[in-house]
Amino acid sequence: MKKYALILLLISFMFTACVPYKSIIYVQGELNDQNKVKTTYQVQENDILYVEIKSADKNIQDLFSSGSQNGSNNLMSNQRLYFKGYTVKQGKIELPLLGKIEVANLNFDQIKQNIKTKLLEKQFKSLDDIFITVKLAGVPYSILGEVNNPQTGVLYKENPNILDAIAASGDISMLGNRKQVVIIRTENHKKTKNILDLTKSDAVNSAYYYVRPNDIIYIQPLRQKTLGTGTTLTQTISTTITALSLITSIILISKYAKN
């Protein structure tokens, strides 16, 4: 009877030690757009903005553009945008000729309107042939914990989300907890912390689903990692057999020593 109880105990241990299939699948269930959060971003202190003013007059365009239009590849072009962008200091950016422009806590459309107002003040009477682009010159972030490539990186994408950051890090490892992803965010000089369950579809309705500048993303380990038994059933069985062999050897040596 004790033998069967031991077998059942081992089988139970093997299955609890493995990572369940549902724990490694992202965004399970149907997506519900009704509760989707607004993703309009408001510029914060120390953000780096890409500002481009296009015009039929090439001199005007060259004067205001913060990024190079040349470049042999997209990566280098994106890096130039980041390093040649305008950094928000004391809530403002400073553009050639136009001077300081208020941008803090404003969205990109509001900033464009502020730039247009400044252009009119500088006697650019006609704005019909002037087109203004304002956006982040990259979204810096850090991701650490149970990912295959922990890193501090920059996402060169419009409104990037947390899956973009995870993909850039080589995905969450098998022993990473997708149900409790920690995001630490700084807004208006205050830090906030939130936890996302990336196995549920309603994660996309959270404001924390979208990566914001200087977000810190921490992937916690699953309990299976502390057990050290393996991530798959095969690994767990192998580890269990090894442990049983060791225990059996100790018992046999102990009995032999007593005799």
pTM score of the predicted model = 0.73
Nearest to 26 by CA among 216, 141, 163: 163
* pLDDT at residue number 161: 95
Distances, alpha carbon 150 to alpha carbons 145, 171, 244, in Å: 7, 10, 36
* pLDDT at residue number 77: 63
* Cα angle 47, 54, 127; round to 5: 105
- The pLDDT tens digits along the chain (259 residues) read 444 444 444 444 444 555 666 767 887 877 776 556 667 899 999 999 988 888 777 766 676 655 444 444 555 466 777 777 899 999 999 998 889 999 999 999 999 999 988 888 876 766 667 888 899 989 999 999 999 999 999 999 888 999 999 999 999 998 899 999 999 999 888 899 999 999 999 999 999 999 999 999 999 998 775 555 555 545 555 555 565 565 566 665 666 665 5
**Phi–psi pair at 82, nearest 5 degrees:** -70, -45
CATH number of 21-40+138-225: 3.10.560.10
Which amino acid makes up residue 207? A
* pLDDT at residue number 82: 72
Looking at 3.30.420.40, 3.40.630.30, 3.30.1950.10, 3.40.640.10, the CATH number of the domain 49-136 comes to 3.30.1950.10
Please report, for the chain, how many H helices and E strands are present, in that order. 7, 10
**Phi–psi pair at 143, nearest 5 degrees:** -135, 130
* pLDDT at residue number 72: 47
- Strands 215-221 and 190-196, bridge-based pairing: unpaired
Nearest to 168 by CA among 185, 151, 180, 181: 151
Rg (CA), the chain: 27
Taken as a whole, the chain contains a residue count of 259
Residue ranges covered by each domain of the chain: 21-40+138-225, 49-136
